[in-house]
Amino acid sequence: MFVKSSFAITALSVAATLFPAVASADASDDYPIPNRILKTTCTVDQYMAAVRDTDPVYYERYMIDYNNRPPDIQQGARDRIYWFFSLDYAGRRQYSEDTATNVYYEQMATHWGNWAKLFFNNKGVAAHSTDVCAGYPPSDPGVWNW
């Protein structure tokens, strides 16, 4: 009996060595940024308007947090998310990889930890909003006023 269990433990050890798991810090198509955000052709304003109408609780929470930040942090968050949305899919995918593997990569997060929560942290919100965001005006700065 002891020999059988020793053999089983040895076999599991060898298997774990030969087939290592993927590191949990690696980015995937939905981590840390949902794939729909990586692939959307909508603008920031279109996406925010869609969130406002499809998931108003998430929009409201984000805007309350946003409005509780100093003006320079608000402007920094706006500039950074507009920059992100200006990237093509490959650039967004690389950004996702960089933020997943380097905790210090995104400097905006040192000023406001949830600066991109509306955009990156909820696959359900991203799914609902990217389904309909193309129907909103591409430029609507009013989405930042709540």
Structural contact between residues 52 and 139, judged by C-beta atoms closer than 8 angstroms: no
Its pTM stands at: 0.79
Q: Is 90 exposed, middle or buried (0-12, 13-18, 19+ CB in 10 A)?
A: exposed
- Structure confidence at residue 21 (pLDDT): 47
> Which residues are 129's β-sheet partners?
none
Q: What is the pLDDT along the chain (146 residues), one digit of tens a residue?
A: 555 555 545 554 554 445 454 444 455 666 789 999 999 999 999 999 999 999 999 999 999 999 999 999 999 999 999 999 999 999 999 999 999 899 899 999 999 999 999 999 888 999 999 999 999 999 999 999 98
d(CA 47, CA 44): 5
